[in-house]
Amino acid sequence: MKKKRRLGEIIRTRRETIGLSQRELGRRAGVTASHIAYIESGRRRPSYTLLFRLGQGLNLGQQELFLLAYPEAAPLLLSLPEDHNRRSAWRRFVPIARRYSVTPRELSILREISKLGKISSPNSYLSILNSIRQSLE
């Protein structure tokens, strides 16, 4: 819960710094003010899509927000020396995605995640997908 609270504190502090109400931030992100309040208090964990919209709306680093919201994904985001390796892992993942019933929406989210850090292998995408699916149950 500490990580979620920290995420909420960062979002609240940034929102207040730029002078937005919870209602206005919620409107910009496409959610209710109460949903923003739950995230800020650490009682809710934002979806990946909402996390990206909050990062953009608040001009915050998306990778940092992602790792605060989903610390279990940290081991999967490795620092590799070349951007080529990240693209290579993504290219190897896309053809096998169909075997795992990856929906177009999930594939879109995983593509955004691939831009956050450097994923080492196609299997890492499967682990992230599993985390996504479990968090939505």
Cβ neighbours of 18 (radius 10 Å): 12
Residue 3 pLDDT more than 80?
no
CATH architecture of residue range(s) 2-69: Orthogonal Bundle (1.10)
Q: Is the overall model pTM greater than 0.75, yes or no?
A: no
**80 or 6: whose pLDDT is higher?**
6
pLDDT of residue 80: 44
> What is the residue extent of each domain of the chain?
2-69, 74-135
- The secondary structure element, H or E, covering residue 89 is helix 83-97
Q: What is the mean pLDDT of the chain?
A: 83
Residue 17 pLDDT more than 60?
yes
Q: What is the pLDDT of residues 67-123, one digit of tens each?
A: 888 888 777 765 544 455 556 788 888 888 888 889 998 888 888 888 776 677 888
Residue at 125: amino acid letter = Y
Residue 24 pLDDT more than 90?
yes
Q: What is the pLDDT of residues 101-117, one digit of tens each?
A: 899 988 888 888 887 76
Distances in Å between the Cα of 32 and the Cα atoms of 107, 111, 120 are 26, 26, 36
**122 or 25: whose pLDDT is higher?**
25
Q: Which of 133, 9, 136 is nearest to 68 (CA)?
A: 9
Residue 11 pLDDT more than 90?
yes
